[in-house]
C-alpha cells in the first residue's frame, strides 16, 4: 500500500493541515516528523474550526492513529493545553489514537525565554522566530544535553540531567545579563506535567514498523515549508529543522525506502511570515488584496503574512530538492476576479537570467522576478469540487504552472472546507 509524505513547497502556511486531514481518511496512521508548536494548521470540518499546532492533523479523524515522531520538539505544557482545547470541542484523544516518541526532545520554559531574549538582543538582525523555544530546543538536542520525553519516566535521574543542562543555559544568561535559573523549580514543573504526558509515550519507530508490516497506509505530515529548511532554505531566515521530505524518514524512525509518494503543498500565490528574502512580494494594493481575501494571518502568532504572486522558479527548486512527485495547489479561489494574474518564471540578477535561488543571502535579496502575465477569470471557484466546473482560464493557469514546475498538480483546494477539494490525479497512485 502506498504511503504519502506531505511537505510545504513554499515558506509554510500552504494549507497542509486540510490536505493531511483529507488524505487521512484513506490512511491508517498520521505521523508528524519535525518542527514543534510553531507550526499552525487550521481545519474546517462541518463549519467547526480546529486549530492545531503540535498534534498531527489526523487526530480529528476517528479511528486514525496519530504519532508525534522523534524529529519533533515537544512543549509538554503546550501539548496538554492543545489536547484540552480539542477535547472541549468534542474530539476524543487518548492512547488509542495518540502516541509520542520516547526519544523526542522536550521544549522547556528556559528555551522560550532564551528564544525571546536573543531576538531582543539581535535588534535589526533578528530572525523573526515565533518565540516558542523551537531553535534553542534543537540546539540542546544536537548538543547532547536535551531533556527528552523518556526522561519523564525516570524522574529519579531527572535532576542530574537538568543540572547539566543549566550549566550551559546559565552561562548564556550570565552573558546576556539575566538572572540564573534554579534547578529545583524546573524539576518540579517537569514532575508536575509528567503524569499528563506519560500515557502517550511509546516506541514509535517500532509502532510504525508494525503498521508497515501489516501493509497499513502511513501519512507523514511535515510542518513549515521547504524554503524554511535549515539547509536548503533562505538561511539564516529559516526554521531550526529540516523541512524537506527526506526528514520524514529520520524524524519518524523509518527507512527512506518506505516513504512512498511525496506531495508538495503550495498556494496558488505565495506568502511568507517574518523576515527574509521574498522575490515576488507585493507591497501594493494587489498584495493587500491577496492578504485580505486569503485571510493571511499566522495561526500560531497572528502575524500578518507577506503576499506575492506564484513563484514557479522557487517551487520547482523545492520539488527537486524534496523529490516531490505531485503538487497540491491550495487557495485557488483567492485569485478569483483578478483581471490579470502574474507568475514568476525565473529571475534576473546583474542583468543575467537565473532559474534558481542560490544559497547566498545577498543573491537571494537582489534577484528580480521575471513575470508572465495570464488572463484571470471572473467566475468564482470557491467551493468547486470537480475539474470540469472550473473556469477555463483557471484550468489554463493550473496547466501553465504544471509546465513551469515540471510536476503534475494532483489536487486543488478551493476553500478551507475539507470536501472542497478537486481530485486531478489520485495522490496515492501517482
**CB burial string 41-70: b at 16+ within 10 A, e below:** bbbbeeeeebebbbbbbbbbbeebbbbbbb
Instruction: Please tell me which residue in 13, 115, 140, 151 is annotated as part of the active site.
Output: 13
C-alpha cell at 227: 524554503
Contact of 183 with 158, CB cutoff 8 Å:
no
| Rounded (10°) angle between helices 312-322 and 392-405 | 50
Q: Tell me which residue of 155, 165, 157, 156 sits closest to 190, measured CA to CA.
A: 155
Q: Whose grid coordinates read 526554521?
A: 239
CA–CA separation, 409 and 400 (whole Å): 10
Of 61, 62, 57, the C-alpha closest to 31 is 57
Q: Is 13 a catalytic residue?
A: yes
In the chain, count H helices and then E strands.
12, 20
Dump the DSSP string for 140-199.
HHHTT---BGGGGG-GGGHHHHHHHHHHHHHHHHHHTT-PPPPHHHHHHHHHHHHHHHGG
- Among candidate residues 37, 41, 111, 232, the one labeled active-site is 41
Residue 383 CB neighbours (<10 A): 12
Q: How many residues does the chain have?
A: 430
Q: Tell me the C-alpha distance between 92 and 328, whole Å.
A: 29
Buried b (16+ CB within 10 A) or exposed e, 265-288: bbbbbbbbbbbbbbbbbbeeebbe
Catalytic residues: 13, 41
Amino acid at each position: 500500500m502506498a504511503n504519502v509524505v506531505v511537505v510545504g513547497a513554499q515558506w509554510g502556511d500552504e494549507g497542509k493541515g486540510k490536505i493531511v486531514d483529507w488524505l487521512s481518511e484513506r490512511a491508517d496512521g498520521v505521523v508528524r516528523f519535525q518542527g514543534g508548536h510553531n507550526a499552525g494548521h487550521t481545519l474546517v470540518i462541518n463549519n467547526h474550526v480546529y486549530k492545531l499546532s503540535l498534534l498531527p492533523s489526523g487526530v480529528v479523524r476517528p479511528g486514525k492513529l496519530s504519532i508525534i515522531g522523534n524529529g519533533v520538539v515537544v512543549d509538554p505544557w503546550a501539548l496538554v493545553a492543545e489536547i484540552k482545547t480539542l477535547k472541549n470541542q468534542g474530539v476524543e484523544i487518548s492512547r488509542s489514537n495518540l502516541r509520542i516518541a520516547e526519544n523526542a526532545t522536550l521544549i522547556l520554559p528556559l528555551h522560550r525565554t532564551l528564544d525571546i531574549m536573543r531576538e531582543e538582543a539581535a535588534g535589526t538582525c533578528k530572525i523573526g522566530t515565533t518565540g516558542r523555544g523551537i531553535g534553542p530546543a534543537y540546539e540542546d538536542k544536537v548538543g547532547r544535553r536535551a531533556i527528552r520525553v523518556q526522561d519523564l519516566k525516570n524522574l529519579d535521574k531527572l535532576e542530574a540531567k537538568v543540572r547539566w543542562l543549566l550549566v550551559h543555559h546559565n552561562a548564556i544568561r550570565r552573558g546576556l545579563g539575566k538572572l540564573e535559573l534554579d534547578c529545583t523549580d524546573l524539576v518540579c514543573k517537569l514532575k508536575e506535567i509528567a503524569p499528563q504526558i506519560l500515557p502517550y509515550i511509546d516506541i514509535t519507530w517500532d509502532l510504525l514498523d508494525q503498521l508497515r508490516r501489516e501493509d497499513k497506509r502511513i501519512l507523514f505530515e511535515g510542518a513549515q515549508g521547504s524554503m524554511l529548511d535549515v539547509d536548503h532554505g533562505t538561511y539564516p531566515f529559516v526554521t531550526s529543522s529540516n523541512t524537506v521530505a527526506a526528514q520524514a524518514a529520520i524524524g519518524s524512525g523509518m527507512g527512506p525506502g518506505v516513504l512512498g509518494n511525496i506531495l508538495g503543498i503550495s498556494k496558488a500565490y505565495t506568502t511568507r511570515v517574518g523576515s527574509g528574502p521574498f522575490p515576488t512580494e507585493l507591497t501594493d494594493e494587489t498584495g493587500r488584496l491577496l492578504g485580505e481575501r486569503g485571510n493571511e494571518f499566522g495561526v500560531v502568532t497572528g502575524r500578518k503574512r507577506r503576499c506575492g504572486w506564484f513563484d514557479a522558479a522557487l517551487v520547482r527548486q523545492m520539488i527537486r530538492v524534496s523529490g516531490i512527485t505531485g503538487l497540491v495547489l491550495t487557495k485557488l479561489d483567492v485569485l478569483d476576479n483578478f483581471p490579470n494574474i502574474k507568475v514568476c518564471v525565473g529571475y534576473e540578477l546583474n542583468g543575467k537570467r537565473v532559474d534558481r535561488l542560490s544559497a547566498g543571502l545577498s543573491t537571494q535579496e537582489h534577484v528580480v522576478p521575471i513575470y508572465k502575465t495570464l488572463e484571470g477569470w471572473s467566475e468564482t471557484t470557491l467551493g468547486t469540487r470537480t475539474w470540469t466546473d472550473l473556469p477555463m482560464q483557471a484550468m489554463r493557469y493550473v496547466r501553465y504552472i504544471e509546465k513551469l514546475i515540471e510536476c503534475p498538480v494532483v489536487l486543488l483546494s478551493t476553500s478551507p472546507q475539507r470536501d472542497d477539494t478537486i481530485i486531478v490525479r489520485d495522490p496515492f497512485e501517482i
